[in-house]
Chains A and B, each alone.
Chain A
């Protein structure tokens, strides 16, 4: 158990809908990362938050947004969903920000299926 909790584990929704994925980082970790894993794109970095502030943005679509709350949990919001958004979404956390050797700890992921 990595200590990173993601809910829900599975989500099935229709095209055009909006969903929210939730992540609770390990106790004491200030950084939260979101990744998307799909068969054709591999593991893609979406966005990172550190202590409530956005720190880095990757290949995140404009239809997607995220935030980190004062209690450090994070939510990834996906809207106007398309079939191609079906993927495994991972949250990871680490104790600090970049420039260090600190690893990130991953949650079990949320499998999103858009039908």
Chain B
């Protein structure tokens, strides 16, 4: 079975600082990987996905993620945090017929 591990349940950054949210995957086959964001009292929204077409994936709201096979990682980054980025972020992997999610990372952005 495939799985993802998110390191750090909480990350705090200052507005304008770099955002780095970590995700490592475990997969015996080339994985399909996703990052979702959940704002308070809302559903999950897709930020970006890795489909093996390119290792650097750009998503919405200025986020991007780089697939590194050697490190089995798919970390999410944003060069400059904005207050509106405060939310919970989930890494996910396709496992046959379903998406398996990590435990999530709550991002706080301080002014």
**Which residue numbers of A lie inside 8 Å of B, CB to CB?**
2, 4, 31, 33, 35, 42-43, 45, 48, 50, 55-56, 58, 90, 92, 97-101, 103-109
- Contact in complex: A100, B99 (CB < 8 Å): no
The contact of A108 among B42, B99, B102, by CB within 8 Å, is B42
- Contact in complex: B43, A104 (CB < 8 Å): no
Instruction: Given A33-B98, A56-B97, answer yes or no on A103-B49 (Cβ-Cβ < 8 Å).
Output: yes
- Contact in complex: B104, A101 (CB < 8 Å): no
Interface size class of B (residues with CB under 8 A): 20 to 34
Give the CA-CA distance A33 to B49 in the complex, in Å. Answer: 18
Task: List the B side residues contacting A92 at CB < 8 Å.
Answer: 44, 99
CB distance from A69 to the nearest CB of B (A): 19
Give the CA-CA distance A97 to B32 in the complex, in Å. Answer: 13
**Which residue numbers of B lie inside 8 Å of A, CB to CB?**
32, 34, 36, 42-46, 49-52, 90, 94-104
- Contact in complex: A101, B49 (CB < 8 Å): yes
- Contact in complex: B104, A43 (CB < 8 Å): yes
- Contact in complex: A58, B98 (CB < 8 Å): yes
- Which of B34, B49, B101 has the most chain A CB atoms inside 10 A of its CB? B101
- Which of A43, A90, A97, A105 has the most chain B CB atoms inside 10 A of its CB? A43
- Contact in complex: A101, B96 (CB < 8 Å): no
- Contact in complex: B32, A43 (CB < 8 Å): no
CB distance from B69 to the nearest CB of A (A): 16
Task: List the A side residues contacting B95 at CB < 8 Å.
Answer: 98
Give the CA-CA distance A61 to B90 in the complex, in Å. Answer: 24
- Which of A50, A98, A103, A109 has the most chain B CB atoms inside 10 A of its CB? A103
The contact of B32 among A4, A45, A101, A106, by CB within 8 Å, is A101
